[in-house]
Amino acid sequence: MTVMTPGESAVPTDSAVPTDSAVAVEAAVPSEAVGPLMRGIAVLREISDAGGRTSLSELVRTTGLARSTVDRIAATLARMGYLRMDGHSAVLTPRLMELGNAYLASLRLPRLLGPLAAQLAEELDESVSLAVPDRDGIRFVHQTTRRRAMSLTFRIGDLLPAERTAPGPLFAAGWDERAWVRWRERRAADPEDRGFPAVPPRGAEADGRGGADRDSAGPDDGGSGGDGPDDGEAGFAARTERAAERGWALDDQLIEPGLIALAVPVRGPDGHVLCAVSAVSHTSRHSADSLRRTLLPRVREAVAAMERELREAPTVPAAAPAGLADWTSASKQRLGADFLESLARGLTVLTAFGEGRAELTLSAVAEATGLARATARRALITFEHLGCVGSRDRTFRLTPRVLALGCPPLSRITLPDIAEPHLVTLVKKVHDSASLAVLTGDDIQYTARVAAGRVMSVTITPGTRFPAYAASMGRVLLADLAPAERLARLARTEPLALTPRTVTDAAELAALLERVEREGYALVDEELEEGLRSLAVPVRDRTGRAVAAVNVAMHSSRRSVERCLREVLPELRATAEAIEADLRIAGRFTRIPSA
Ligand code: PHB
């Protein structure tokens, strides 16, 4: 059965095959494919395409799966820590990024070239991205975003149709006839680019834009004659030919009015194009022509440095993981019929890959996961059918499509987003309000807060500021600064006595901060407001820097200081650790904004 609503492309509702346009031409399902794994992947992709959150009934509608199947898939993914339920909605969790990370680590490009891309962005004061070919699309594997007058920003994992991007023609230069056939079929099956949730529908762009590649395209070199920027097959073929000749390509507002990009291919030591670097700007700062004139030489220099890095970077020897799937049997015992063991086992297969482990044999996958060879083999066959794994000469590798499993929404999350569900859990345990804050100047600023329903005299919402010296989270964040910086801050502020108990003496404050640093927490008792006691610990990023602090605030009559330390501090620390664990996974290949 096929359900069509106006303005929507046909989605077969009786099969759980992902609706990504790149699989418009579906191969027959291999007899050895694992059904629950296929359906689980379909669910993950649906939630991902929906922006990381969707209701279970919506999932039933979009995947065509039975409600009971969706429930069991959700229960299994929740047990894996890849999804959480928020009321009736399924929400992807940062932990899920470990699947995409396995691909990004095995690719090596983000780690090796990301810093050079960031340096180029700094130098040009424009956004710079790295994209890899993904069948007839391009998929981003790195973004250093510096966007100003622009509505759209793409993130890691976003898939764009090749013909509407700057890297597209560079990749299409290497397509064979089969690839062009597939491209044509996808265009015919999905004329509005609905299979690319990151881009506005094709044909929806405003008129009056420049043209696909106006600078030297000459008078109409093969446009489709239609409206909007889509220049049809002849146009894309012509741009591809020119890109092959020149070694660069432009996107002059093919995605949306105002957005322009210049791309140059990056080749590996064997001469193959591995990815493309794009410098992205806006028509308010550049024309397509001036983008090429002013930026091309510098992008080329950066690409030369990137290609050098790829030739010279030492390979990192990787320790082989073991027993990745060992926990799945225990979960099956605990959760019974609600736990789809074959889905959980299948997904752990993806985590067997990584840096230095880009190409694995079946034996290596079986060894890393602890799965029987037959089980690992069937999972690999399933992933290959879904386009998430490729094979050659008896080895398997992950494909960019693994990034469709949650990366686009999860690479957009912020630290407050990560923290919130953990704060909710904490508040349920301690029955007092919990918050997250960052240091801004001499103040702390709240970025997330979960209230405990108890009436407190302080009304705090995200955005609220307090002087750092008198707040528990402020003390934790000040204590993390280098000693000289800490002293400079204390010297610059003139602490006010907000209550009779506020410590205002600089030497005394300095000693307090040393103690906070030593003990790893701050307890502030009625110094900010009478009757208010609060306890805070730092939240540290991968480098160990305190990027935020988390606290519990309560009325001072609620517990003695001793009980507060005994009962609340361990819970608070566990919360900070849970946030840090998520931050490490989500922030491995992308910068997570602290506020
Ligand atoms: C981007 O990095 O956001 C980007 C790259 C190439 C394009 C458009 C956008 O053609």
DSSP codes joined into one string, 502-568: ----HHHHHHHHHHHHHHS-EEEESSSSTTEEEEEEEEE-TTS-EEEEEEEEEETTSS-HHHIIIII
187 pLDDT higher than 70 = yes
CATH architecture of 109-312: 2-Layer Sandwich (3.30)
Query: Which atom of ligand 1 is nearest the CA belonging to 153?
Result: 3
Alpha-carbon Rg for the chain, nearest whole angstrom, is 26
Q: Count the neighbouring beta carbons within 10 Å of the beta carbon of residue 345.
A: 25
Range scoring the smallest mean pLDDT among 181-185, 336-340, 380-384: 336-340
- Whole-number pLDDT of residue 29: 95
The total number of residues shown for the chain amounts to: 595
Answer whether residue 482 shows pLDDT above 50.
yes
Taking alpha carbons only, the member of 86, 77, 80, 51 closest to residue 420 is 86
Residue 23: pLDDT band by 50, 70, 90 thresholds? very low
pLDDT tens-place string over residues 212-243: 444 444 333 333 333 446 889 999 999 999 99
Distance in Å, CA 278 to ligand 1 centroid: 6
List, in order, residues 6 or more apart from 35 with CB less than 8 Å away: 342
How far does the centroid of ligand 1 lie from the alpha carbon of residue 280, in Å?
Answer: 6
* Identical fold between 32-100+320-410 and 415-586: no
Indicate which atom in ligand 1 lies nearest the CA of residue 254. Answer: 10
Q: What is the mean pLDDT of residues 50-70?
A: 97
Task: Determine the atom of ligand 1 nearest the C-alpha atom of 129.
Answer: 2
Confidence (pLDDT) at 445: 98
Distance CA 266, CA 47 (A): 32
Distance 5 CA to ligand 1 centre (A): 30
Question: Would you tell me the crossing angle of helices 67-79 and 341-350 to the nearest 10 degrees?
Answer: 50
Over residues 421-433, the mean pLDDT reads 96
pLDDT, tens digit, for every residue of 148-184? 766 688 999 999 999 999 999 999 999 999 999 999 9
**pLDDT band, residue 543 (cuts 50/70/90):** very high
The pLDDT of residue 459 is 72
Give residue 204's pLDDT. 63
**Other C-beta atoms within 10 Å of 493: how many?**
18
Q: How far is the CA of 452 from the centre of ligand 1 (A)?
A: 44
Residue 348: which H helix or E strand, with range? Answer: helix 341-350
What are the tens digits of pLDDT across the range 431-479?
Answer: 999 999 999 999 999 999 999 976 554 578 899 999 999 999 999 999 9
Instruction: Decide if pLDDT at 1 tops 70.
Output: no
pLDDT at 4 over 70: no
Q: Please check whether residue 310 is in contact with residue 266, taking contact to mean a CB–CB distance below 8 angstroms.
A: yes
406: pLDDT strictly greater than 90? yes
Distance of CA 133 from the midpoint of ligand 1 (Å):
13
The percent of residues in the chain predicted with pLDDT above 90, rounded, is: 83
Q: What value does the mean pLDDT take over residues 48-55? A: 97
Give the range among 142-151, 334-343, 475-484 with minimum mean pLDDT: 142-151
Q: What is the mean pLDDT of residues 4-9?
A: 35
Q: Where are the domains of the chain?
A: 32-100+320-410, 109-312, 415-586
In 56-174 the beta strands, taken as DSSP E runs, fall at: 83-86, 89-92, 127-134, 137-144, 159-161
What is the dotted CATH code of the domain comprising 32-100+320-410?
1.10.10.10
**Minimum-distance ligand 1 atom for the alpha carbon of 127:** 2
Confidence of residue 344 (pLDDT cuts 50, 70, 90): very high
Best residue among 213, 255, 292, 411 to mutate for probing ligand 1, ranked by most atoms within 8 Å of CB: 255
Residue ranges of alpha helices (H) inside 30-84 are: 35-49, 56-63, 67-79
- Which residues contact ligand 1 via a Cβ below 6 A? 127, 129, 154, 165-167, 251, 255, 261, 278, 280
Over range 285-300, report the average pLDDT.
Answer: 95
The residue-averaged pLDDT of 348-375 equals: 97
Q: Does domain 415-586 have CATH number 3.30.1540.10?
A: no
Q: What is the pLDDT of residue 453?
A: 76
Q: Is the pLDDT of residue 314 over 50?
A: yes
> For residue 515, what pLDDT is reported?
97
Comparing CA positions, the residue from 562, 233, 162 lying closest to residue 400 is 162
Average pLDDT, the chain: 90
186-209 mean pLDDT: 83
- Coil, strand, or helix at residue 498? coil
Question: Which residue among 144, 154, 196, 252 is best mutated to probe the pocket of ligand 1, counting the most ligand atoms within 8 A of its Cβ?
Answer: 154
